[in-house]
Structure 1
Amino acid sequence: MKVLFVCSRNRLRSPTAERVFFGLPGLEVRSGGTERDAEQRVSRDDVEWADLILVMERRHSRRLRELLHRNTVFPRVVSLDIPDEYEFMQPELIALLEQKVTPFLQSAINTARLEAQPEAM
């Protein structure tokens, strides 16, 4: 499963999410921001790459659609409702991300675990 994490400037919340979930079996992750001054601005390629987009706030979903509305096929977009009040890799942010994101990723994680198990003889 390919997951794109999105916040405003790609400085705190979405890069934290990318780092927390990077390397999990069965997952590929990226992050980006919706604003012009974002560290890594979300592109049409990012959106079309993703199987799931997890935005930190509902406004990010609206902003994505405003930026990339023409001829862009959007995957499922879900708001995590995580406000912009955390620092990069802040333990409280990590705990909140794990709590809110894990249910969406569980099926991909389970599939990867099954594929990694040796077949019974």
Structure 2
Amino acid sequence: MNILFVCSRNKRRSLTAETIYKNSASYTVRSAGTEPSARIKVTARLIDWAEVVFVMEKKHKQRMFENFQNELSNKEIVVLDIPDDFRYMDEELIEILQTSVDSYFRN
């Protein structure tokens, strides 16, 4: 399954998610950001590639719909509600991500 993780700048939250899931046998993962200054920016191509999109906050979902409404019409977007309070690879962030993402796929 192709998973796209999205936050604002693709430097902490979404990059952490990509890092912890990149060696998974079940998922192929990428990450991107919604801000112009993002390390890797969300693109139509990335959205088309993804089967499911996990965004860290509601504002990321809103920004994506502002720019990619057509591409997102048949995509599942999951809001994780993870604030921008963590450093890259923060242990608490890893735990929250794993709990949220794993819970989504169990249901």
TM-score class, shorter: over 0.9
Partner of 2:79: 79
Which consecutive unaligned segments of at least 5 residues does structure 1 have?
108-121
Q: 1: distance between equivalents of 2:102 and 2:43? A: 25
Contact 2:65 2:72 in 1 (8 A): no
How big is each residue's C-alpha offset from its partner over 1:9-56, in whole Å with a ceiling of 9 and x where there is no partner? 000000000001111112100000000000000100000100000000
Shift in Å, 1:105: 3.4
Q: 2: distance between equivalents of 1:102 and 1:35? A: 27
Where do residues 53-68 of structure 1 align in structure 2 (5 Å cutoff)?
A: 53-68=53-68
Shift in Å, 1:104: 2.4
Give the AA of the match of 2:98.
E
Q: 1: distance between equivalents of 2:99 and 2:39? A: 26
Partner of 1:17: 17
How big is each residue's C-alpha offset from its partner over 1:45-77, in whole Å with a ceiling of 9 and x where there is no partner? 0001000000000110000011223x4244100
| SS of residue paired to 2:5 | strand
Partner of 1:38: 38
Give me the TM-score of the superposition, normalised by structure 2.
Answer: 0.93
- Over the matched positions of the two proteins, sequence identity in percent amounts to 40
Pick the structure with greater CA Rg: 1
Cα RMSD over matched residues? 1.3
Give the AA of the match of 1:48.
D
Q: 1: distance between equivalents of 2:16 and 2:54? A: 13
| SS of residue paired to 2:14 | helix
Between Structure 1 and Structure 2, how many residues are aligned?
106
Which consecutive unaligned segments of at least 5 residues does structure 2 have?
none
